Amino acid sequence: MSSDSSPIIRASNLRLSYQLNTYKVDTLKEFLIRKFKRQSVFQQKVALKDISLEVAEGECIGIIGHNGSGKSTLLKILAGVIRPESGSLSVSGTLVPLIELGAGFDPELTGRENIFLSLSIQGYSRQEIERFVPHIESFSELSNELDQPVKTYSSGMYMRLGFSCSTVAAADIILIDEILAVGDQNFQKKCLQKLDDLRKKGTTIVIVSHDLATIESIASRLIVMNAGQKVFDGPIDEGVLFYLDLMEQKRQTALSKAELAELNRKAKLADEPTPLEQNAKIVSVNVFTSDIEPITPTSTVIIEIKLAILRETTDFPSVGFAIQTAKTGIRILGGNQYSLGMQGRHPIPKSGMYSTSIYLKNLQLASGKYDVTVGLHTKDLTKTLDIKPAVASFEVQCISDPQNFDRDLISPRCVVGSWKVTAQKDMGSHNNCPGELQI
Partner 1 sequence: MIDKQRLKLARIRFDLLFLLISKDLRLRYRGSLFGYLWSMLNPLLQMMVLTAVFSFLVRFKIENYPIFLLCGIVLWNLFSQSLTQGANAIIANGGLIKKVKVPVAIFPTASVASVTVHFVLSLIAFFAISFFMGHWPRLIWFLIPIYLFVFIGFIWGITLAISSLNVLFKDIGHVLDPILQLCFYGTPIIYPISVLPESIANIVALNPLTHFVGSIRTLYFDYQVPNATTTIYCFGLMTLSLLFGSFTYYKTRDKFVFRL
Q: Tell me the closest approach of the beta carbon of residue 355 to partner 1, in angstroms.
A: 37
Minimum separation from the CB atom of position 192 to partner 1 (A): 21
Report the run of H or E that residue 333 belongs to, with start and end: strand 331-336
φ, ψ (nearest 5 deg) of residue 97? -90, 130
Measured CA to CA, the distance from residue 200 to residue 97 in angstroms comes to 19
To partner 1, the closest distance from the beta carbon of 401 in angstroms equals: 47
AA letter at 154? S
Per-position DSSP letters for 337-390, written without gaps between them: TTTTT---SPPP--SEEEEEEEEE----BPSEEEEEEEEEE-TTSSSEEEEEEE
Strand, helix or coil at 122?
Answer: helix
CA angle 296, 299, 302 (to 5 degrees): 120
Judged by beta carbon, residue 76 or residue 199, the one nearer partner 1 is 76
Taking the C-alpha atoms of residue 234 and residue 200, their distance in angstroms, rounded to an integer, is: 21
Question: With the CA atoms of 85, 90, 93 and 94 taken in that order, what torsion angle do they form, in degrees rounded to the nearest 10?
Answer: 0
Q: How far apart are CA 379 and CA 384, in angstroms?
A: 10
Which of 58, 62, 70, 97 is close enough to bind partner 1 by CB under 8 A?
A: 97
Kindly tell me which residue out of 4, 29, 200, 344 binds partner 1, with binding defined by CB under 8 A. Answer: 29
Any contact of residue 291 with partner 1 (CB under 8 A)?
Answer: no
| CA neighbor of 52 nearest in space, from 225, 211, 212 | 225
Per CB under 8 A, 22 contacts partner 1? no
From candidates 125, 424, 429, 438, binder to partner 1 by CB under 8 A: 125
Which residues touch 166 (CB under 8 Å, ≥6 apart)? 96, 98, 101, 118, 122, 174
Instruction: Give the closest residue to 241 by CA, choosing from 349, 354, 320.
Output: 354
Q: Does 23 bind partner 1 (CB under 8 A)?
A: no
Residues 220-259 that bind partner 1 (CB under 8 A): none
Instruction: Give the binding range for partner 1 (CB under 8 A) out of 106-114, 251-259, 277-285, 327-335.
Output: 106-114
30 vs 293 by CB, closer to partner 1: 30
Name which of 27 and 403 has its Cβ closer to partner 1. Answer: 27
Nearer to partner 1, 17 or 325 (CB): 17
Among 2, 31, 131, 432, binds partner 1 (CB under 8 A): 31
Stretch that binds partner 1, among 24-32, 62-70, 228-236, 295-303 (CB under 8 A): 24-32
Alpha-carbon distance 174 to 97, whole Å? 6
**4, 22, 26, 380: which one binds partner 1 (CB under 8 A):** 26
Binders in 55-94 for partner 1, by CB under 8 A = 76, 79-83
Select the residue interacting with partner 1 from 7, 13, 15, 18 (CB under 8 A): 18
Give the residue, chosen from 99, 157, 159, 169, that forms a contact with partner 1 under the rule CB under 8 A: 99
The reply to whether 126 sits near partner 1 by the rule CB under 8 A is yes
Alpha-carbon distance 37 to 358, whole Å? 69
Interaction of residue 27 with partner 1, rule CB under 8 A:
yes
Tell how strand 301-309 and strand 352-360 pair up. Answer: antiparallel
113 vs 238 by CB, closer to partner 1: 113
Rounded Cα distance between 94 and 81, Å, is 15
Q: Which of residues 129-158 bind partner 1 (CB under 8 A)?
A: none
Instruction: For the CB of residue 31, give the shortest distance to partner 1 in the complex, in Å.
Output: 7
Residue from 10, 15, 19, 413 in contact with partner 1 (CB under 8 A)? 19
- Minimum CB distance to partner 1, residue 152 (Å): 13
Interatomic CA distance for residues 79 and 76, integer angstroms: 5
Phi and psi based region of residue 221 (left: phi greater than 0; alpha: psi -120 to 50; beta: remaining): beta
Binding residue for partner 1 (CB under 8 A) from 28, 416, 421, 433?
A: 28
Pairing verdict, β 435-437 and 9-19: unpaired
Q: Which of 54, 113, 277, 408 binds partner 1 (CB under 8 A)?
A: 113
What whole-number distance in Å separates Cα of residue 266 and Cα of residue 263?
Answer: 5
Nearer to partner 1, 19 or 298 (CB): 19
> What interhelical angle do 111-122 and 126-140 show, nearest 10?
130
Q: Count of residues binding partner 1 (CB under 8 A)?
A: 31
- List residues binding partner 1 (CB under 8 A): 18-19, 26-29, 31, 76, 79-83, 97, 99-100, 103-104, 106, 108-109, 113, 116-117, 120-126
